[in-house]
Amino acid sequence: MSRTAAGGMLTLLVVSNMAFALLFGRTVSRSPRSRMPLTLAVITATALCWAAALGWPGGRPPLWLLVVLITVMGSNGPASLVGLDYA
């Protein structure tokens, strides 16, 4: 991957982190009972994306899968804070 593409992926990670923080904040403020399902959904999505990327035949996942993985990883920080709030 080129430096430009890698930089774009890191930018996508930060932007998706901000977007998920806003989305999760609004969701939890409107429905406090959504904390556990939201956290479990993020854990499941992250595990599935990593399994797909690591298990891709040939060892080189396509760019679209990496974009999905990075976007889902952007939700991990806000979800961990929701999980901390739940605890």
pLDDT at 59: 83
- CA-CA distance, 78 to 7, in Å (whole number)? 22
pLDDT band at 85 (very low <50, low <70, confident <90, very high): confident
The dihedral sign for the CA sequence 10, 67, 53, 45:
positive
pLDDT by residue (tens digit) across 20-71?
999 999 999 999 898 999 999 999 999 999 999 999 998 899 999 999 999 9
What are the residues whose beta carbons fall under 8 Å from the beta carbon of 71, sequence distance 6 or more? Answer: 12, 16
pTM for the model stands at 0.87
